[in-house]
Amino acid sequence: MMERIAIYPGSFDPVTSGHLEIIRRSSKLFDKIIVVVMTNYRKTGSYAFSIEERENLIRKCIGDLPNVSVDSYMGLLADYARKTGATAIVKGLRAVSDFEDEFQQALINKKLNPEVETVFLAASSEHMFLSSSVIKQVCQLDGDVSLFIPKEITEDVIEKLKR
């Protein structure tokens, strides 16, 4: 039987508890998950963490998930899926407002790579409001971000964002 490989793309600047929830849930659905740190061209120049730092933060959070790996890519997601043999792209949805943009991306990826399907996972109500942007804002205003990010990276994130 063919290995079912999925990719979970995002900017992860930084990875949140919501992201980790989607990673954990998708790791039960597929044989292999590749978390792919990508550049969102609408956010260029506003990243708090380098690509390498984002990859390392994610790795610190997934040590107990043997079928999850981390990579980065600077091209089209459809091409990355083809290159890795992935047949699915996992996307987490927080609210209806996420759906329109994600749906458009799914249609484009399907056109560029007919072999790949996009799978949408709804965030739990506990994480629906979370975004990396909110984490950065709360931290910079001296709020407690430990409620919103994995405990494995709390100190790293606070130290970096307080600088």
Please name the amino acid found at residue 117: E
Active site residues: 19, 43, 94, 132
Q: Where are the alpha helices (DSSP H) in the chain?
A: 17-27, 51-61, 77-84, 96-112, 132-140, 154-162
For residue 114, whether the previous peptide bond is cis, meaning omega lies within 30 degrees of 0, is no
* Interatomic CA distance for residues 73 and 8, integer angstroms: 12
Contacts of 151 (CB under 8 A, 6+ apart): none
